[in-house]
Structures are given as structure tokens and as C-alpha cells.
Structure 1
Amino acid sequence: MVLAKRGFNVQVFEKRPPVGGDQAWVNRRSYYLLLDQRVVAALRAVGCVMNKLETHFKPCTGISLYKPNIAEAARHVDFPTNRTWFVERFQLLSFLLSEMERLFGASNPIAVHYNHAVVGLDVGGKRVTFLTPSGERHVGYELLIGADGGSSRIRTAMKGQVPGFGFTVDKSYERYVSLMLDVSRYNAIKPLDLKFYPANDWANPNPKSEPAGELTVVAFPNDRTMFHFALHKDAVPRYTTKQDRVKCNQLHGPSIILVGDAGHATTEKSGQGANSAIDDAHVLLRVLTEAEDLESVPAAFTKARLADVHTLYQFNRESLHSRGRHGFWCYPFLRDTNQFVVWGSLHKALPWLVSPPALTLALEDEPVPYSACKQEMDRHLAMSAGAVAVLAAVGLRWALSCLT
């Protein structure tokens, strides 16, 4: 829709068949996303009717994280909000397709082709090869948007054909532990429990066969999906085994742009996969609007987006495993603890003087880029360290004066 809005004729190639024909297949892959204000801004930018959101999306009024085996005072961590939405991912797809039809009507410049899997890319010749049920198909392009996921073949082909382009894939083996989402405190839909099974990660290299813990999650009326994890037992391994983090040194090649997991991927614990991918589209719209010619768009996209996706990658890699890998005194753990404990407490005590913790600004009505959030978190830690140093110096001077 972003490209069509700028006057392009767009062809979308999807390797899977159309959704809806095999309900069992849909059930196994069905889960809810928690979308933030970045997505709403992107949808509004392309002309989606926002009052239709409630047909597909469910507003999230609040979540309370709790662990029952610790003191009552520390048991609940509340996140009341009216700026986020729950949406099942196939309902999100349905919403986007229906809005596409409404926005462009009979003159729709977007053609969707299913059962087309990428098998080759000729960067110099500007041609992609797809494998279809009837054989290979070669398609030329003026601008190629690589959105073929964490195992992107577009990205892999670029590494051998685009000078200077490179990427790393970081394997993450995650073991889920006991965590509960108490939605009942906000009169939400009744929670349910799910036992799930562990894969190993670098903090716990010895996976066991018994359940790793339980997750209390939001159940929705269709009783088919839930927040993040599929209900169906045969889908559990899909969401509890290895996940890839992808980091590219640039998000473009000649007439090529990588978006979503193809250009940057984090594990789903960060909860930013869909948000970040749709944010890519919003940034692309701005870049297309400001660009003087089509050839300058790919490099301009990298310039506008790379710092932010690298910061999200860094947050995901460092923060989720900092204690397991480096102990409680590593920089990421100190930075995050300082942000949410020290500055969060200061904000609650002095809201007119101290801003909310930096990462919460990423969810505001006008979201702040993650790269700017990280700079703010680093600055806050430096200020806290300076305050501790001053207090230590004053205390030492006082102690010495007492001794003399």
C-alpha cells in the first residue's frame, strides 16, 4: 500500500497458499500480536480507516505481570495503557487486504501472487526467480522489497552479489520460565494456563523433558488463539525452540530494500517483530516522499532506519540474557535496572520533573526511536553513576573528618 500510494504498480509474491483454505494449518500458526502506536501511525499514513480497528483489533487496557512465589509487595508490575492493541495475525492480514481493496478499488495497482517461493536473484539484471506449482517464473523489477523473513533468500543472494553487504545470524535457544500475565485485574477476558516445554539457551544449557513452567495468557472468544503462543500442542515446539536474530550492515542493495525479519530480526521475547516490520513501511513512505529519484531510495532507507534496528537488536541480545551470561554487574543489566527502578521511581515521585523511563517513550502517541531511547538510557546511567560517585566522595570525606 505504501508503494501503491506513491504511484507504483506493485506485485506481491507470497510463498504460501491463500489463507483460509486449511483451517487446521491456520490454527497451528495462529497467535496474537501486541501492536503499539507505531503500527497505528503507519496504518493512518497509508489511509486506513482507524475506526475499523475494533472490528479486528482488541484494545489492551492493561497487563499485570506477577510471580506468585515472591513477596506480595513485589508480586505485581502493572502496565495500564490504552495505546496498544491485541490482534490475531491472520486477522491483521485480513484487515490489511480489506483496506487495500477499499483504498484502491477496481483500479487496484497491487497484484498478489500466492505459491511463489524465491529461488534465485540476479542483482545486476534486476530479476527474481520464483518456484511455482507450474515451474519457474522470472520477474523483472524497478525496486525490489525483500520481505521474505528471517531465512531470507533475497538477503543471502545479496551477500554474494552486492559489494560490501554482509549480515550475521545469531542463533538463540531460549528456555521459558514461570511468568504469568494477570489480566483479571483489568476486567479483561478470563486467563488460561498453558504448560510449555523448554529449549536450551546460553544461560541454561541443560534442557529437560518436563515442562519449564506455566504461562497465564489472554484467551479470546474464538478459543483458538492466545497472546503470542498457539494453543495447539503441536505448535508448542515452534514457539519454544531456537530463534534467529539477524543483523545486516546495511538494509539495501542496488534497487533492493530489505524490510522486516529479512533485514533485521529479534526473538519474539522482545515483542517487536510485527511492530518493527510495519514501522519499516512507515519509514519507507517518508523516504519515498522525500527522495528526488528512485535510485536514491534504497540508500536513504538504510540511512533512516539502520541505527534504530541495530539498537533494537542490541536491546534484544543484551538485555534478555545479561544476567545469565555476565552476572548482575554487566552494563546492560545496570543500564536497564537503573532505567526502570531508579528513574521509574523518580518519575512516580516527581512526574512534573522527571520523564517516564526511556523505553516507554517508544510506545507513546508520537513514538521515540529506539536509538534515541538508548542514548537517553545511557545518559541516565551516567547521571546515576555520577550521583553515586558524588555521594561516595562526600561520605568518604565525612568519614575521614570523623576519624581526625
Structure 2
Amino acid sequence: MVTILGGGIAGTVLAGGLARAGHHAVVYERRPNVRGGAFLFLDAHVHRTLADLGVPADQLDSASYPVDGFRVGSPAADEAPSAGHRLYHRTDLMRVLTEFARAAGADIRYGTAISDLDPDTGVLYPGGTAAELLIAADGVDSIARTRLEPERVAEYAGQVVLYATAAPGTRPNTTPSVLHFHRHGQDTPATFGHFWNDGVTVWFARLTRAPIAVGYTGFQPLARWIEPIRTALPEIPYLLDTLLDHTAMVHVSNARCVPLTKALPPRLPVILCGDADHALSPSSGVGARNAIDDAAALCRALLDGDDPADTMARRRAEVLAQLG
């Protein structure tokens, strides 16, 4: 049996892939359901990986929107083609992944909080249940990483990130089905991105500033963020008018990363996975891709009888190569 700590993207994908192949996988997730205000973009590589694991492609398509291309700067800038990217609200992606895992026979135990563990034995608390192999996919604030590597803590990445969905029918004066980026690069760099089509209009902002208090994270009224966004991105007032005027709530978070360069080598019986091991700043745009690649690599290793510690060591090398 494989025990998985955390029922987010990586943990759910891994559980479903293992269960589909007949392996008993148990997931412990403290929240009754996994929610979030963010949206994300997955490319053709990720969709092939999910299909190989057995996630139904038609369900992924119905839960997402195709992206035709990317454009940085003004509407007249050259458009870069999409590499099979699709836009997902995180809740919609998690719904598809959870349905896949449950249909495959994974045992997902929502509302089950694990408050501590023994990294040498894999024993979980409360309860004292021993895990022969524990895959810790419990996110940037990983309990498992705290016990395995107490010195490797999550660090503020220097920006506050806001995600929002505008009111239905909002139509910016830009090309539809294209992800547009606008960057302000002086003393306090900022990025604004938006995407729209006939079904959805979303936008995000990354603002360089001090971190905000936890009480002001999560879903918040947009009103207190309008002026900071306008001040940080003075070049696009008319675009901001259209999108901000048609948005009521915004999801706010402090961008954080988990440094990987000084990580201890992976070792059994507890293996870190996804953001628990190597969370990257949202500006990298590959957090979900890395989480899914981790899950797929661990799934293949466990099905083939390979060492999961060696597998995650190789995955770490791949992530470091991405960072240059």
C-alpha cells in the first residue's frame, strides 16, 4: 500500500494512476474538498502525461478552454503560438482528477488531518498509523519537509499574486483566446495577464511588494487592490478599466518558493513530491506541470519496482535544469 499525504494535484494524480494499475493507494487530505481561486495553463506535454495515466481527455477538454497563443506587450506585438495549452480553473481541474482517482479505486480520505509524522518510520499522527511508503504531496507548508529538513523552509518570492474572474460578458479590446502579458519593469516590477473568450474572462496580477498578512489572503474584495494595481501598471489604464470595473472579488496570496539547491537527498520511507519538495514562484508558470511530472514519475517507478528515492533525485535534477 502507498500512503499519500495531500490531496492536491500531485497527490490525486498519483493515487489515481496507482489505483488504476491495481495498487492500493490511500490519500489523507485535511480539507473537506480541495478548492482554490487560481487558474492555470497546462500544455500538450502535461495532457499527454495525464492521458498516459488514464485521465479521460474528453473530461479535461470539457473542463477547460483552448489557448491559441501568447502575446507580450501591446496588441500589435507578435503572437507566439500555443503548445497545446488549455486554461483551467483549479477547482475544475481538481474535480476531473478527483473523479478519475475515485473511479480508479483510490481511497481519498478528506477531512483527515495529519498533524505530525516520524520521518524515520513513516508513522503518522494522530493515530500512530505506520506507512510502509509515504509520498508527501502536502504543499508548500509541508509537514513532512518540516520533519525531514527543518532548515529548508518556504521563502517569500517577493510578489503578491492576485487571480480573478471577471463578470460574464466582459470583453476587453484584445484578441480572444490569447493569453496577454503586460509587464512593468522598473524599481517595482509587476506583471498583468488576461485571457478571454465567449465563455470566460480571467486576469492575474503579480505585484512586487512586502508580503501581506495571512488575514488578507484568500478571497478578498477587489476594492483595496484597485489602486495598487493601477499604480504598479500605469501603461495599460484602459485595459485595467475594463477588467477591474467588472470584477468584484479577487484571490490573493503571497508568492512563495521552496529552495531546492541545498536539499538533502531523498530517502525512504518518506518521499517529498510536488510543491512540498520544490515549489517555484508562480512567475515560472510550471508549478502544476512539475507536480504532475513528479506524480507520473513516481507512479511509473512504483509500478516498475524502481526506487522512488532515486526517481525523485532525478526529478530534482530536471527541475534545477529548468531554473538554469
Tell me, yes or no, if structure 1 residue 30 matches structure 2 residue 20. Answer: no
The counterpart of 2:308, out of the listed 298, 305, 326, is 298
Q: Distance in 1 between matches of 2:265 and 2:189?
A: 34
| Compared CA separation, residues 287 and 304, structure 1 to 2 (3 A) | farther
SS of 1:263's partner is: helix
Please name the residue that 2:279 is paired with. Answer: 265
How far 1:16 moved relative to its partner?
Answer: 1.1
Letter in 1 for 2:117: L
2:194/2:202 contact within 8 Å kept: no
Tell me, yes or no, if structure 1 residue 246 matches structure 2 residue 259. Answer: yes
The counterpart of 1:277, out of the listed 266, 291, 312, is 291
Please name the residue that 1:335 is paired with. Answer: none
Equivalent runs, 1:48-197 vs 2, <5 Å: 48-67=55-74, 76-81=77-82, 83-102=84-103, 104=104, 108=105, 110-129=106-125, 136-159=126-149, 167=152, 169-174=154-159, 177=189, 179-181=191-193
1:60/1:83 contact within 8 Å kept: yes
SS of 1:137's partner is: coil
SS of 1:148's partner is: coil
Please name the residue that 1:213 is paired with. Answer: 233
Q: Distance in 1 between matches of 2:193 and 2:60?
A: 24
1:123/1:158 contact within 8 Å kept: yes
| Compared CA separation, residues 141 and 57, structure 1 to 2 (3 A) | same
What are the superposed Cα offsets for residues 182-213 of structure 1, whole Å, 9 maximum, x if unpaired?
757xx776857777765249xxxxxxx74322
The more displaced of 140-149 and 2-11 is: 2-11
Identity of aligned residues (%): 24
| Compared CA separation, residues 249 and 286, structure 1 to 2 (3 A) | same
Q: Distance in 2 between matches of 1:76 and 1:182?
A: 15
1:246/1:261 contact within 8 Å kept: no
Q: Distance in 1 between matches of 2:297 and 2:286?
A: 16
Q: Distance in 2 between matches of 1:277 and 1:194?
A: 21
What are the superposed Cα offsets for residues 207-238 of structure 1, whole Å, 9 maximum, x if unpaired?
xx743227869x99xx98xxxxxx624x33x2
Give the alignment's TM-score, normalised by structure 2: 0.68
What are the superposed Cα offsets for residues 276-330 of structure 1, whole Å, 9 maximum, x if unpaired?
10111111123224335xxxx2322134312112223xx2xxxxxxxxxxxxxxx
Structure 2, gaps ≥5 residues long: 1-15, 161-187, 212-226
Letter in 1 for 2:257: D
| Compared CA separation, residues 278 and 284, structure 1 to 2 (3 A) | same
How far 1:116 moved relative to its partner?
Answer: 2.5
Please name the residue that 1:17 is paired with. Answer: 32
SS of 2:127's partner is: strand
Q: Distance in 1 between matches of 2:202 and 2:91?
A: 21
Please name the residue that 2:23 is paired with. Answer: 8
SS of 1:246's partner is: coil
For the aligned residue pairs, the C-alpha RMSD in angstroms reads 3.4
How far 1:179 moved relative to its partner?
Answer: 4.3
How far 1:100 moved relative to its partner?
Answer: 2.5
Q: Select the structure that is richer in helix.
A: 1
Q: Select the structure that is richer in strand.
A: 2
How far 1:54 moved relative to its partner?
Answer: 1.9
Structure number with the bigger relative contact order (C-alpha 8 A, sep ≥ 6) is: 2
1:127/1:140 contact within 8 Å kept: yes
Structure 1, gaps ≥5 residues long: 20-25, 69-74, 130-135, 161-165, 202-208, 225-230, 316-373, 375-404
Tell me, yes or no, if structure 1 residue 256 matches structure 2 residue 270. Answer: yes
How far 1:83 moved relative to its partner?
Answer: 0.8
| Compared CA separation, residues 79 and 151, structure 1 to 2 (3 A) | same
Q: Distance in 2 between matches of 1:9 and 1:98?
A: 17
Letter in 1 for 2:275: D
How far 1:11 moved relative to its partner?
Answer: 1.1
What are the superposed Cα offsets for residues 148-178 of structure 1, whole Å, 9 maximum, x if unpaired?
1111110111136xxxxx7464432127745
Q: Distance in 2 between matches of 1:57 and 1:182?
A: 15
Max Rg structure: 1
Q: Distance in 1 between matches of 2:193 and 2:18?
A: 39
Please name the residue that 1:333 is paired with. Answer: none
Number of matched pairs: 258
Give the alignment's TM-score, normalised by structure 1: 0.55
Q: Distance in 1 between matches of 2:281 and 2:53?
A: 28
Letter in 1 for 2:137: A
